[in-house]
Amino acid sequence: MARKSHVQTTINGETVEFLCESRQSLLEVLRDELYLTGAKEGCNNGNCGACSVILDGRLVNSCLVLGVETEGKSVETIEGLADPDKLHPIQDAFLENAALQCGICTPGFIMSAKALLDSNPNPTEHEIRYWLAGNLCRCTGYDKIVKAVMDAAKETSA
Amino acid sequence: MEKFSYVNATSLEQVTSLLSESGWGEVMLIAGGTDLLAELKEYIETPKTLVNLKTLPGMDSIEVDASGLKIGALATVADIAMHPTIQHHYTVLSQAAGSVATPQIRNVGTLGGNLCQRPRCWYYRDESTDCLKKGGDICYAVDGLSKYHAILGGDPVYIVHPSDLAPALIALGASIKIVGPAGEKTMSLEEFFTLPAANPFRENVLEPNEIVVEVSVPVPKPNTKSFYLKAREKGAPDFALSSVAGVFEMDGKTCKTASIVLGGVAPAPWRSKEAEAAVTGKMIDESVSQQAGADAVKDAEPLNDNMYKVTLTRNLVSRAAMMAAS
């Protein structure tokens, strides 16, 4: 019963295989088995959104998904966002707007913003606040994050 | 989390047979996992086997026809919230689904899981507290910290049922289909939930070897107005302090029939027949709506820290009635 499972999945466009215990969350697999430490562990129970990744096109908390559940699926993490020589427009907008201070919530916010802009390229401020409500930031007071996402939307939908 | 083995479900027969071969809690079902995994992490549950229901085919569909809605137990809360027909014709359900937790949780949390989720009571969720809900002797909310606990139907366990979908679905007259080893059965969703006086350990009538497979909702009557009002502690994702699911069949400002179901205030979704009676057959004005609010909470028995829920619930019910007439 304690045998590890072999899982094959796609992460940031590349086929990845790993072994994990069934009790390991996707977050633990990403960080501890695959050394993709962009997704952060905050609350570990679905409140803070610091571990947000995109699973088969849907934003999820990776701490509330089991690693074994990603068999045959596609995972997007913050590590897959930038080109080798160029940041993603959402990342640029976060820098331009000083939308981060300590930075621990930032990968989660950026993935949530990406999930939003992928489905709704021109969101209103209200929509941004609604769709980013699953991410907590204790530094910025959110206004700069919302402004960054609005700027990124202008950039990506232009 | 303790170790467990993980099995992908292949059929409902296999699932009910796995459940039948074990006692409570040894084999558990996982769909979205947003509630279950939190319980496993806190060692509230320590199953030996998890059965993944997401591999069951066709159970995540939302079907619309002339008789109403059929929603598979594996449909996600996000799919329910965003479904165009539900938004237009079953507004209370769409609003309730859109108010659940966060986008991340709505994207994986399922209808079946939302209805069967366990209480959020801080004593129940505390690994080291052996409360009445978990087979101990005491409901600690009675003399302890009771800010988020029940004001109606509590005795002897003062949890509140955390579901937003359940009050909305009950107000719409939904029924629930359950499959067990002996086959399937259907009951009204209102009867699915139980109070702690009947069973302090569970929140519904599901047997250990049964599984929720589908919820059906009849088409609302013409000229129906429905909405879900949810009070939270702050303007951020959270469980309801108090909520009202209201479905009003109107003729102008006159209410022909009403279903008013409260969330967040009782150990089960709480149908307020008193509030319904206060508006049915009446032209709703301010005094009728205030009477409905007052009647909804006339049997409330608040604990030390949740007196505010009586006022909050009264005002939410009144507001729902006024919205029906506006």
- The per-residue pLDDT of chain A, averaged, comes to 96
- Which whole number is the average pLDDT over B131-150? 97
Provide the pLDDT for residue B170: 99
**Residues contacting B91, CB < 8 A, separation 6+:** B225, B226, B227
Cα separation, B156 vs B144, in Å, equals 14
DSSP characters for B180-239? ETTEEEEEEHHHHB--TTT-SS-SB---TT-EEEEEEEEPPPTTEEEEEEEE-SSSSS--
Cα separation, B292 vs B274, in Å, equals 7
Provide the pLDDT for residue B183: 96
How far is B111 from chain A, CA to nearest CA, in Å?
17
Q: Considering CB atoms only, which of B5, B37, B102 is closest to A133?
A: B102
Angle among Cα B267, B98, B58 to the nearest 5 degrees reads: 90
Contact A58, B107 (CB under 8 A): yes
For the CA atoms of B242, B243, B249, B251, the dihedral, rounded to the nearest 10 degrees, stands at 70
Q: What percent of chain B has pLDDT over 90?
A: 98
How far is A14 from chain B, CA to nearest CA, in Å?
24
Q: Which residues of B touch A (CB under 8 A)?
A: 1-6, 30, 33-34, 37-38, 40-41, 48, 50, 52, 54, 78, 101-105, 107-108, 236-237
Q: B152-192: per-residue pLDDT in tens?
A: 999 999 999 999 999 999 999 999 999 999 999 999 999 99
Q: Which residues pair with B229 in a beta bridge?
A: B244
- Which whole number is the average pLDDT over B252-270? 98
Q: Considering CB atoms only, which of B2, B34, B104 is closest to A49?
A: B104
CA distances in angstroms from B118 to A94, B201, B203, B204, B206, listed in the order given = 38, 10, 8, 10, 13
Over 80: is that where the pLDDT of B120 sits? yes
Other CB atoms within a 10 A radius of the CB of residue B142 amount to 16
Q: A110-136: per-residue pLDDT in tens?
A: 999 999 999 999 999 999 999 999 999
Cα separation, B230 vs B237, in Å, equals 11
Over 60: is that where the pLDDT of A1 sits? no
Provide the pLDDT for residue B221: 97
Cα separation, B295 vs B274, in Å, equals 6
How far is A143 from chain B, CA to nearest CA, in Å?
15
Q: Name every chain B residue with its beta carbon within 8 A of the beta carbon of A46.
A: 34, 38, 101-102, 104-105
Domains of chain A: 4-80 (3.10.20.30), 89-157 (1.10.150.120)
CATH topology of domain B224-325: Enolase-like; domain 1 (3.30.390)
Q: How many CA atoms lie within 13 A of A68 on its CB side?
A: 21
Reported as a pLDDT band with limits 50, 70 and 90, residue B47 is very high
- Which whole number is the average pLDDT over B16-37? 95
Other CB atoms within a 10 A radius of the CB of residue B66 amount to 5
- Which whole number is the average pLDDT over B282-296? 98
Residue A61 forms contact with B (CB below 8 Å):
yes
Contact A50, A42 (CB under 8 A): yes
Q: Name every chain B residue with its beta carbon within 8 A of the beta carbon of A44.
A: 41
This prediction has a pTM of 0.97
Cα separation, B284 vs B276, in Å, equals 12
Q: B63-114: per-residue pLDDT in tens?
A: 999 999 999 999 999 999 999 999 999 999 999 999 999 999 999 999 999 9
Over 90: is that where the pLDDT of B196 sits? yes
Over 90: is that where the pLDDT of A2 sits? no
- Which whole number is the average pLDDT over B11-34? 95
Provide the pLDDT for residue A158: 73
Q: A47-97: per-residue pLDDT in tens?
A: 999 999 999 999 999 999 999 999 999 999 999 999 999 999 999 999 999
Q: Which residues pair with B217 in a beta bridge?
A: B69
Interface of A with B in 113-132 (CB under 8 A): 115, 131
Reported as a pLDDT band with limits 50, 70 and 90, residue A3 is confident
